[in-house]
Amino acid sequence: IAARSGGHSYAGYSSPDRGLLVDLRRMRGVRVLGNGHVRVGAGAQLIDVHRVLSARGLTLPTGTCPSVGVSGLTLGGGYGLSSRMFGLLCDRLVAAEIVTPDGRRRRVDARHDPDLFWALRGGGGGNFAIVTAFEFAPAHARRAAWFLMRWPWAQAEDVLDAFLRLAPTTDRRLTALCTLSTAGSVTVLGQYYGTEARMRSIIGPLRRISGASFSSGTSSTMELVQRWAGCLDRTVTECHTAGTRTGGQLPRERFAAASGYLRRVPNGAGIRRLTALIERRRAQGQGGALIVDAYGGAIADVAPTATAFVHRRELASVQAYTSFAAGREALARRWLADVRGVLADVGSGFAYQNYIDPRQPNWAHAYYGANLGRLADLRRIHDPDGVLRFAQAIPLRAPV
């Protein structure tokens, strides 16, 4: 049995070839409760959640793709462009309504089935139970400042180095990401819960790197969601299909990805190895990017074992993302193998479970680290027959 919410599993694990698919997408209601919490159906997409919350001056730390399902994002941790301020999405979870593999409906929280509640906060989607609804404690925020900077490729090494020295350790009200692209540019964008003037001061080390275009402003939280999704000029309904082309065409894209974490700023040679990955992919005539997300702040306030999400001490995550033409998959796979090799050398050896990767070496340890043993014990207790099953489901026994 596999559950599907947003359908964004990179490996397609939410669509089993041989098995039963439980599609939750019609369970998408979002309701603010009397205690200030918000109840979110397991099939809701992020844009649905923000539409309700922003009207009440509330927000949750979510990612930048509006059609991602709240379920998978939460269960795998849930990084977003306000996470250094408000934590991961799983840190905002106060309760979950679930159906366990034996068919029982339960509500779990810090007092009721606390072990299961622990596992649902970062233990990955598709394990332990099918969640039917989430209860979150949202943060209060109506507006935030934002910025977008773009440099020509010649500045890529300087920008990446400056970004890694600044973004994960600066004022936690700022969350930012850096994208190195085969389009021949390097981009840094972010949002700040404070004044635009103060934000400009904080990002001074980046602004001093020559050659950048720069834009900034202050927007409502809903406008920010739409801005980063590329659907600022569309209705919320249209944002559900943000990739739609003119004429209503929905593109079909071949893509693959890999990820890793940086525990410290790489030296000059390490920075060059990361930028060289993009140069190599561009030379192959194919599209791709490295997306570097700054951690720290509220993410690091939580101990690595306090929830199932172990990656609390990382400086930044790195995701390599590539699209490829028909017949060029093998070349893309070789490039991603090179990415994994570089990240194994300059990174911490871990990977983000929400960027699930069928070719990730030692994947169970890479996703769950020191929490793997406890997760395996809980899987054995709550799903001993492996009813919820996919290729990278948490094993019933942790590898030795």
- The predicted-structure confidence for 249-304, as pLDDT tens digits, reads as follows 666 677 889 999 999 999 999 999 999 999 999 999 999 999 999 999 999 999 99
pLDDT for res 266 = 98
**173/90 same-domain check:** no
Nearest CA-CA partner of 313 in 167, 168, 162: 168
State the pTM of this model: 0.94
Instruction: Give the residue, 137 or 325, on which the prediction is more confident.
Output: 137
pLDDT for res 207 = 97
pLDDT for res 237 = 80
CB atoms within 10 A of CB 204: 9
Helix runs in the chain, H state only? 46-54, 70-75, 83-86, 114-120, 156-166, 196-202, 204-207, 221-229, 236-239, 268-283, 329-346, 363-368, 372-382
CA distance 385 to 17: 19
The domain boundary residue, chosen from 107, 140, 173: 140
The domain boundary residue, chosen from 140, 172, 200: 140
Q: Which two tokens stand for residue 128?
A: 């332990």
pLDDT for res 300 = 98
CA-CA distances (angstroms) from residue 204 to 146, 148, 171, 386? 14, 13, 13, 52
Is 385 a domain residue?
Answer: no
Nearest CA-CA partner of 190 in 169, 211, 215: 215
The pLDDT tens digits of the residues spanning 147-172 come to 999 999 999 999 999 999 999 999 99
Beta carbons of 49 and 74 less than 8 angstroms apart: no
Q: Which two tokens stand for residue 232?
A: 């600022």
- Cα Rg of the chain (Å, integer): 20
**202/130 same-domain check:** no
pLDDT for res 254 = 78
**Across 317-321, average pLDDT:** 96
**73/209 same-domain check:** no
The one-character DSSP state at 94 is E
DSSP notation for 238-260 = HHTTTTPPTTS------EEEEEE
Beta carbons of 290 and 320 less than 8 angstroms apart: yes
**294/338 same-domain check:** yes
pLDDT for res 240 = 78
H or E segment at 288?
Answer: strand 288-294
pLDDT at 49 over 60: yes
pLDDT for res 246 = 54
Virtual torsion, Cα 366, 369, 375, 376, nearest 10 deg = 70
CA distance 248 to 241: 9
- Neighbouring-strand partners of residue 108: 96
pLDDT band at 247 (very low <50, low <70, confident <90, very high): low
Q: Which two tokens stand for residue 57?
A: 């001056």
Domain count, the chain: 2
Is 382 a domain residue?
Answer: no
Beta carbons of 38 and 91 less than 8 angstroms apart: no
pLDDT at 400 over 70: no
**339/226 same-domain check:** yes
- Phi, psi angle pair for 140, to nearest 5°: -90, 115
Which residue segment(s) compose the domain that 200 sits in? 143-230+253-346
CA distance 324 to 289: 12
The domain boundary residue, chosen from 140, 156, 172: 140
pLDDT for res 67 = 84
pLDDT band at 69 (very low <50, low <70, confident <90, very high): confident
**129/155 same-domain check:** no
Instruction: Give the residue, 255 or 93, on which the prediction is more confident.
Output: 93
User: For residue 102, what is the domain's CATH number?
Assistant: 3.30.465.10
pLDDT at 8 over 70: yes
Virtual torsion, Cα 352, 357, 359, 363, nearest 10 deg = 40
